[in-house]
Chains A and B, each alone.
Chain A
């Protein structure tokens, strides 16, 4: 019988550390399966941001660098320039990438560094207990917006794909989600495309995963998927923003 599905070999048979129902692990699994398909597991370096992404090193069996909070794009830029034969990618949350590390993200993108960036947008700072992130939706309650996110006080959700799309250098920018099988297929295709851009030496590639945080959203895993569909996706439209 033909085997059509198995655990990606890049994932250790250990507990991954993410909360039940968290789509962080779905993104990680896709990345590992694409690296396997491209035969890159032995020649890639993952740069993890600080946040829930720091769970990755316990489950992902690839060379990795734990980066200071927000700095993965700077770390990855250096590694890639020193070791161009290595496929270098970052894995970052929204606090990490879009708040404390915004300068590093923008500048690596603007330099067109030949790295791939995976961005997990769960609309809050998951690891530290669900505080407001730049990506928090309007009116959304978080542990630091107990009365909801209001424009006058907190401004508006930040759209990283759209922001990066204003730059000249990036070569691939896409937003995906893993809420259902059809979307997982599209997400996997985007991960593949992003790595292909790096392999082709085209420069900065970026994939945003519109994700969930059942624990801090106070929703069951199933409810959190519904929340993504009904609330997150209207704010963060899916699709390819750039592919050249």
Chain B
């Protein structure tokens, strides 16, 4: 397959289109503006014939996405941090209504308006509480543009499979940089038409002779009669539990003989990987665990470690206070010391800082 040189945001948008995304709504916010801009260009083109709609706010954009989800079309929105926060009520509605939509967060500094520079301060918002009511989503955390492209492509399939929103947690760094990527194949018209036809079993686009009228709403499973809310929530919980078996994704990098584990995700892990390589060159036995999805959290990766051999774990992320760190701490359960290497507010983590923190934790070779 041919490699193309693309900016992260545009590659993500093109991957979504190729995955079959035919509806996009969004509101301008740096550092993700190239996604809606690209969508506004691409959607009307003859090989796509999709819909781009600029919302009057993130709330409205999310509501548009909710409406799109209710029609059974492949649909997404993107935003950044405080914009995603503004969507949170509707994200909860989409989870409550079991709609197969995709949400992409190109995160920036926070809290509040924070900064327009890349950051990883939305980890809790993405993995724990993207809205009210305790729902969960699959959360992808791409470390390169290629990974973001591949995840975007799969996100729509998984949203459809589980009838649940899927979340891409990326950052302004990945969105703004350029690198060579292989773009996936365009999903065929036939494939998309067949899926829409299938989704007509529950979509709210007019009854068209169906035995029952279709109702979409938070607390209501599409295509099923209304059940007590607790019953639905229990069924959703079962699905979240099944993800722990079927949807965990992580990468082990050079961990076989490692005495020190660096753990990190997303763009920080990309920098941490090169720190591992440098440390290895100097003779330090260092490896990395990198969650590819940050929800469900890959607890198994940390359970499989031989704690008798370990000098410690260095948790690396672009967030102060640390957030990802707490998921690591919860699974490691004090079996080895955990140190952190952090930046925040839009500052990029430096490889040298990771190396220094790793050496400190490692002690004598």
Q: Does B13 contact A (CB under 8 A)?
A: no
Known contacts A44-B206, A63-B213; decide if A68 and B63 are in contact (CB<8 Å).
yes
Give Cα A60 to B97, complex, Å: 19
Contact of B207 among A43, A57, A78 (CB under 8 A): A43
Contact of B205 among A41, A74, A83 (CB under 8 A): A83
Contact of B218 among A47, A63, A66 (CB under 8 A): A66
Chain B residues with CB under 8 Å of A74's CB are 55-56, 59-61, 63-64, 67
Chain B residues with CB under 8 Å of A57's CB are 215, 217
Q: Does B342 contact A (CB under 8 A)?
A: no
Give Cα A74 to B206, complex, Å: 18
Chain B residues with CB under 8 Å of A61's CB are 213
Instruction: Find out whether the CB atom of B205 lies under 8 angstroms from the CB atom of A66.
Output: no
Across chains A and B, the number of contacting residue pairs, with CB separation under 8 Å, is 121
- Report A185-221 residues with CB < 8 Å from chain B CB: none
Instruction: Find out whether the CB atom of B67 lies under 8 angstroms from the CB atom of A76.
Output: yes
- Report B20-76 residues with CB < 8 Å from chain A CB: 22-23, 25, 51, 53, 55-57, 59-61, 63-68, 70-71, 73
Give Cα A44 to B59, complex, Å: 25
Q: Does A184 contact B (CB under 8 A)?
A: no
Known contacts A41-B207, A61-B213, A66-B217; decide if A78 and B56 are in contact (CB<8 Å).
no
Give Cα A67 to B217, complex, Å: 7
Q: Does B15 contact A (CB under 8 A)?
A: no
| Number of B positions contacting A (CB below 8 A) | 37
Contact of B206 among A42, A47, A76, A106 (CB under 8 A): A42
Q: List 26 contacting pairs A-B, 8 Å CB cutoff, sorted by A.
A: A41-B207, A57-B215, A62-B213, A63-B215, A64-B204, A64-B214, A64-B217, A65-B67, A65-B204, A66-B216, A68-B66, A68-B90, A74-B61, A74-B63, A74-B64, A75-B64, A75-B67, A77-B53, A78-B25, A78-B64, A78-B68, A79-B205, A82-B22, A86-B205, A87-B206, A104-B60
Starting from the known contacts A45-B204, A67-B66, 15 additional A-B residue pairs (CB-CB under 8 Å) come to A43-B207, A47-B67, A62-B207, A63-B214, A65-B66, A66-B97, A66-B218, A67-B63, A67-B67, A68-B93, A77-B53, A78-B64, A79-B67, A81-B53, A106-B56
